[in-house]
Amino acid sequence: MRLIRLLPMFLLLLGLSIILVFGGIDYISIEFLKTHKENFKQFIDNEFLFSAIVFILIYATTTACSIPGAAILSLLSGYLYGVAFGTVFSLTGATIGACVLYFAARTALGHLLKSRSGSAVLTMQDGFRRNAFYYMLFLRLVPIFPFFLVNLVPAFLKVRFTTYFFASVIGMFPGSLVFSLTGVGLDKILLNSEGVSMASLVSDELMFGLLGLGVLSILPVFYKWILNYLEKIRLF
């Protein structure tokens, strides 16, 4: 039983060690992708399933270890795999990473991780007490708190895992889709980055992706209005 409680800590340390040993942080950049895009494409064409598993594991590890770069990885998912597969792979990686962090907070690493959350537990506890599922969904859709806090605090407040899981999957889907759309548009920019006008780089995917990112970015401005509305219809 004690070994099971230590499993989340082991997975976090293992994933972090792999990233550091192989210099994974250096790979999470647009510049690295631009330099090696042909190698990536060839590898994916030859080993699609294996590359997808590797991508999901990298995304999950980045999320679980709270390493900056999730947005870049979400863009890469669209660039490398297209909208459909990119959305599925980035959403799967984000969900796995969030679940690992949830269980880590509920077990061996709980006290250490709680010290990183500051006053966020007190700030969020009333919303979770009123309606855990819809508040979790709201926090996934409207990024008013850092991503790692939204992953951790529900565990500290003893939110049921099924509530955490399904609300996370539903709530993270729009963001995954938007970033994948933007990543598909990024493909055109990288492939035509020399000697072309900006007008020739515009694609439907890029425009819809950027529009979606714009909508997501302004949601926090209206979060109080959204909360008041949800309270009126008795979701919170």
Q: Other C-beta atoms within 10 Å of 84: how many?
A: 11
Query: Which pLDDT belongs to residue 13?
Result: 57
- The answer for residues whose C-beta is within 8 angstroms of residue 74's C-beta and 6 or more apart is 86, 90, 175, 176, 179, 180, 183
Residue 223 tokens read as: 């979060």
**Crossing angle of helices 2-21 and 48-64, rounded to 10°:** 110
Q: What is the C-alpha radius of gyration for the chain, rounded to an integer number of angstroms? A: 19
DSSP state of 1: -
- pLDDT score for 85: 95
CA 16 to CA 12: how far, in whole Å?
6
Burial (Cβ within 10 Å: 0-12, 13-18, ≥19) of residue 215 = exposed
| Residue-level pLDDT, tens digit, the chain, 236 residues | 444 455 555 555 555 555 555 455 555 556 666 677 778 888 899 999 999 998 998 899 888 877 777 888 888 898 889 989 999 999 999 999 999 888 888 876 666 666 666 677 788 888 888 888 888 988 888 777 888 889 988 988 889 999 999 999 998 998 898 888 888 877 666 655 554 343 443 455 555 655 665 566 556 556 566 666 666 666 55
Using CA atoms, how far residue 214 sits from 73, 175, 200, 219, in Å, is 18, 11, 22, 9
The CA distance from 101 to 231, in Å, is 29
Cα separation, 65 vs 189, in Å, equals 31
pTM: 0.74
Q: Please give the Cα distance from 22 to 43 (Å, whole number).
A: 18
Task: Give the list of residues 6+ apart from residue 78 with CB closer than 8 angstroms, or none.
Answer: 86, 87, 179, 180, 181, 182, 183, 184, 186, 187, 205, 209
